[in-house]
Structure 1
């Protein structure tokens, strides 16, 4: 173990190692039925007999700092680790096409692994983000060949995440595209560094129009899968077929599965949808959701520690060593962990908070009154402040004062709550509005305002309006149903709930140009005037409130 490794395990608070001797075998070749060879490295603790095997499949390289330290950390705690690269990445043959080949290549890797003389019969899977997606792609067909799985901050399907509320998730997709190009040209270490620091060139390229040129602006070349994504946003687009989308089959996964996520993770809704599909099929996955972003050292350390509890319980047939309740949630605001039998916890009550004329927010419906108005200008788009982002520096819970002071953001605030109010579960908004043009976005954010007046974001969502899906009624009124990020949050006594409404959140989401032009080619920018009307409300799943 190197000095870096010692610092890594100390920073992540890992349990003691059982050995410091790890043997690394590089460039193992894994055949696939179509003739492509995948490459893998094997980490073995030679002093640990019959060590089970952790399979990690990744498009991010086998030998980046995080990959190496993760593999060594598992090996030092009694596991063999096979880290295999996805096709078209880090020396593996073929072409990398996101999400397309992960099921069949995962099965090929599993077939090969099971026939190796060093394999002792127990296969576990682990990894965050794309490394979690490949587990969900493999799980349905692998059956009981996998002893246990642990997908972290991930999802079996990405279509509804990339086009959340029919709006395009710009910041995450362009940053990820730039990372994959960096991996082609440079080292995994540089790509890891840019993910933590933020890629300035990619960030600046998010303002580029048309978006069909944003990949070239960010990376210096056109990227095929970026172009595909820009054109595949319609419902039912064949790009998002069953080869790429695996959520519908998540209920077929028989391996014990622990889904591990974060409230500020950009992929959280997909992961909770995976959980719901598995529960509907009669499975009992474990679920942990902490206060984390997608990129978080604290989150990754917690996931590694949890894996080192989850895996032995199933390898050794000792489920009693696991926690009693399968669902563990970090309740923000209360800043404490709680265990439940399921998600969402039973006993919640749907409670509507109605937007009032003049900027109030109350549990009673609004009386008729004047609408609240603002103008959205895509040439000066409402900026993203905090929330579920890939960039760990700019995402998460932030002070919203500057955002709420903008003329293109309207806010509605409740009176201070008399007793703590807990919202645990889904959050949604119904917004009645008029717009000066048929093409517009409705961005809704729920915030917590403390006794000193500081407003911090809790959760958010967006809905893109189009004339066919959101027609006007006889009075020119449209209805936007907005799904916000799920949450577990406690509004403390004396705090106020606040709802923000605006015409977008850029660059998290691609700005609505107001013209209805295709996402890839739109360049004309048109302002839109909004009227937010009485009859609008936000719905929380409140606990302990009648």
Structure 2
């Protein structure tokens, strides 16, 4: 009965036949003598067949085993779920992103030596489980038969430090979760712990947020705060982006417009497509790990794996790009990403206007960012808390947020693709962050965020002109969004969005030790010589 309910919930056809045979705690030896544990889910009667490998730091029981191990096996896929090094019974120390290449390749070679594996291996999973795929896929010989990459990317560094700014909310949240995930009852909702973790994000220095959140240090947070400098190559072992174009494995991807990896994953997709590798991607109206995304992701991965491991190619008859157009409530199919569009500038005008033409010459618009009272974040691509679209009116009323609003739209406008902003500005201290957000303002005046981006400035980057004005090129997350007739486009410019991004202290102190806080005056220019603007990919198909 439960299996039938799960299949219905996931939108899968009812699986027929006996329950899979589960073998627990398979011991998989690593080259350095450490043993990792794995569970095997085999369709009844399996003798020798392809294997789907899933490598996870989150344990081999509960929802993960039900969604992937049991469901995949009931639908004909022999599946092995392995606990990564130092997690849930596997030996060694859990250091996220360390040794995943070595351990993953050793595991694949061990699988191929087992009598119940015919040598063909695919990989599946989401988020960190996607990272463990990228750590194997470009390097394994013979190659994998397929990779199913849910909400993940070939490199995580740009997600740790988007625009050069530590993603404090996501990093502290994840650190607190992995730091206590093997404790009793850790998987149950715990509002008290949630409040402690959110308070910990305000800790100074930020490197102490782990102890503030869960009462003990978490090595990952120490690593991510201690290796923050742009020239630090500490995370090179986790970066597989240089191998993307050379990947010789069929790839299917699933992500969401409010996922923290959306920009990086679409970059991977585009590189693969331009290299002639024929990947496919599905992009829905989801945040990272949102329950509504689970059904589409499981269906995508199950169908893709059955196609490449068992020859059932029915699920391959679709367009390479399938995306949800927000605001229109409809799915669109395209042959490539991004689809053809017209780059359209919306200029920031004096006195808070926004339009296709820049305004008359005027003095710059100013505000002061105070790290002692940092500009708060509202919604967006978060792991926890109030994510996705939210009402921005309260934060837009603050004196440290500049707001530029266009006229009501005479017709619907579809924005599909990559969004960028160019902001000409001068800051008092040189050390500053530039945060840009695009919003949709409805007829009732409610302002909802669509996409945003941030860039960290420091003396010499970007280079300044003679008048100390710098040109900040800010990359916002890609999107697909319909701005309805009668709605207005709005652009926010601020000095941060806390605690989603770590506050800028206005000094050159590293984030591990920064405590001092200096207010910073911003001047934003918007004239013919310095036309600050946001550039939108307007789709007309």
CA-to-aligned-CA distance 1:60-94 (integer Å, 9 cap, x gap): 11113333343111111112210001111111111
From 514, 525, 531, the equivalent of 2:506 is 514
From 173, 177, 198, the equivalent of 1:203 is 198
Alignment-derived partner of residue 454 in structure 1: 446
From 253, 263, 266, the equivalent of 1:269 is 263
Task: Please give the alpha-carbon distance, in whole angstroms, between the structure 1 residues aligned to 2:353 and 2:364.
Answer: 12
Give the secondary structure class of the aligned counterpart of 1:304: helix
Cα pair 1:12 1:298 within 8 Å, conserved: no
Task: Please give the alpha-carbon distance, in whole angstroms, between the structure 1 residues aligned to 2:176 and 2:310.
Answer: 42
TM-score, structure 2 as length reference: 0.95
Alignment-derived partner of residue 381 in structure 1: 374
From 335, 340, 347, the equivalent of 1:354 is 347
Cα pair 2:7 2:15 within 8 Å, conserved: no
Summarize the Cα distance change of 1:23–1:321 in structure 2 as closer, same or farther, 3 Å threshold.
Answer: closer
Give the secondary structure class of the aligned counterpart of 2:350: coil
Task: Please give the alpha-carbon distance, in whole angstroms, between the structure 1 residues aligned to 2:468 and 2:238.
Answer: 40
Tell me the CA shift for residue 357 of structure 1: 0.3
Tell me the CA shift for residue 149 of structure 1: 1.3
Cα pair 2:120 2:144 within 8 Å, conserved: yes
Cα pair 1:143 1:255 within 8 Å, conserved: no
CA-to-aligned-CA distance 1:290-339 (integer Å, 9 cap, x gap): 11100211111110011222122223435464233111111111121111
Give the secondary structure class of the aligned counterpart of 1:165: helix
Unaligned runs of 5+ in 2: none
The CA RMSD measured in Å over matched residues stands at 2.0
Tell me the CA shift for residue 277 of structure 1: 2.6
Query: Are residue 539 (structure 1) and residue 539 (structure 2) matched?
Result: no
Tell me the CA shift for residue 276 of structure 1: 2.6
Alignment-derived partner of residue 170 in structure 2: 172
Summarize the Cα distance change of 1:192–1:30 in structure 2 as closer, same or farther, 3 Å threshold.
Answer: farther
From 219, 222, 228, the equivalent of 1:224 is 219
Task: Please give the alpha-carbon distance, in whole angstroms, between the structure 2 residues aligned to 1:39 and 1:48.
Answer: 21
Alignment-derived partner of residue 342 in structure 1: 336
Give the secondary structure class of the aligned counterpart of 1:68: helix
Task: Please give the alpha-carbon distance, in whole angstroms, between the structure 2 residues aligned to 1:52 and 1:294.
Answer: 29
Give the secondary structure class of the aligned counterpart of 1:389: coil
CA-to-aligned-CA distance 1:193-228 (integer Å, 9 cap, x gap): 46x998322211000001121111122222223222
TM-score, structure 1 as length reference: 0.94
Query: Are residue 113 (structure 1) and residue 106 (structure 2) matched?
Result: no
Pairing of 1:179-190 with structure 2 (within 5 A): 179-186=177-184, 190=186
Give the secondary structure class of the aligned counterpart of 2:166: coil
Summarize the Cα distance change of 1:193–1:45 in structure 2 as closer, same or farther, 3 Å threshold.
Answer: farther
Alignment-derived partner of residue 244 in structure 1: 238
Task: Please give the alpha-carbon distance, in whole angstroms, between the structure 2 residues aligned to 1:305 and 1:321.
Answer: 9
Task: Please give the alpha-carbon distance, in whole angstroms, between the structure 1 residues aligned to 2:312 and 2:298.
Answer: 19
Tell me the CA shift for residue 135 of structure 1: 0.7
Task: Please give the alpha-carbon distance, in whole angstroms, between the structure 2 residues aligned to 1:285 and 1:332.
Answer: 23
Alignment-derived partner of residue 444 in structure 1: 436
From 354, 365, 370, the equivalent of 2:358 is 365
Alignment-derived partner of residue 497 in structure 1: 489
CA-to-aligned-CA distance 1:269-296 (integer Å, 9 cap, x gap): 1211221332343211111111110021
